[in-house]
Structure 1
Amino acid sequence: MSDDRCELLCLDLDHAEALRVTLPGDDALRARADVLRALGDPTRLRIAHALAVGDELCVCDLAWIVGSSQGLVSHHLRQLRTAGLVTSRRDGKLVMYRLAEPGRRVLATVAAPVGEGQPG
């Protein structure tokens, strides 16, 4: 028997059901998973950190800061924008990006110090 399973069925049905019905619905969980997936790539996470510190940056600056090509950074910014974590605005020939408020909140959560002995 593996260590991650009970050796006997001990379901506290009332308690388990009371908790089960409080869980978010599938659509809400899917949306949250999409947001977390958007920051699940090291380059996107690096871009988000740069925007958190730099406030508003163009693709050229972000590419230099994160050490990737403009094309790759544009691709990642598109994914972050689709997830609602980044906003953009056109300034003449430049497109400026900034973290949206949801992006700031999620980044603050994932950037919080982790416990001792955990990767961070």
Structure 2
Amino acid sequence: MSDDRCDLLCIDFDHAEALRGALPPPQELARRAERLRALADPTRLRIAHALHVGNELCVCDLAWIVGSSQGLVSHHLRQLRAAGLVDSRRDGKLVMYRLNPAAHAVLQAAVETVVEGDPV
């Protein structure tokens, strides 16, 4: 007997089918998973958190804040942008980065779900 499986196949079909029909389409779930994967890296999470509280920052500032090289920060920013979490704009010779509204919401939810002292 396994603790993680039912010993008897018993499906509440109407309820299960209603929930199944309410799930987002597979493409949407894949996009959401990609965004969450992008934030799963500690360096990218630090960058996102810095942008969350700092609003808009250039690569130089972000590199200083997170304690990484500009090259590494640029690499991670490209990944965050590819995941649809970060927007950028050129300001003269600077490229300024900011979290988009969806990323602010995802990061806020992640911060609120992790409670100090929770087991890792």
Same fold (TM over 0.5): yes
Secondary structure (helix, strand or coil) at the match of 1:78 reads helix
When normalised by structure 2's length, the TM-score is 0.92
Secondary structure (helix, strand or coil) at the match of 2:8 reads coil
Secondary structure (helix, strand or coil) at the match of 1:112 reads helix
When normalised by structure 1's length, the TM-score is 0.92
Q: Percent identity?
A: 73
Whole-angstrom distance in 1 between the partners of 2:11 and 2:113? 35
Q: Note the residue ranges of structure 2 that are not aligned, 5 or more in a row.
A: none
Whole-angstrom distance in 1 between the partners of 2:117 and 2:111? 16
Whole-angstrom distance in 1 between the partners of 2:113 and 2:25? 29
Name the residue aligned to 1:53. 53
Aligned partner of 2:38: which letter? A
Aligned partner of 1:66: which letter? V
Name the structure where helix makes up a greater proportion of residues.
Answer: 2
Q: Where has structure 1 moved over 4 Å in runs of 4 or more?
A: none
Name the residue aligned to 2:41. 41
Q: How far is 1:119 from its partner?
A: 3.5
Secondary structure (helix, strand or coil) at the match of 1:8 reads coil
Aligned partner of 2:20: which letter? R
Q: Note the residue ranges of structure 1 that are not aligned, 5 or more in a row.
A: none
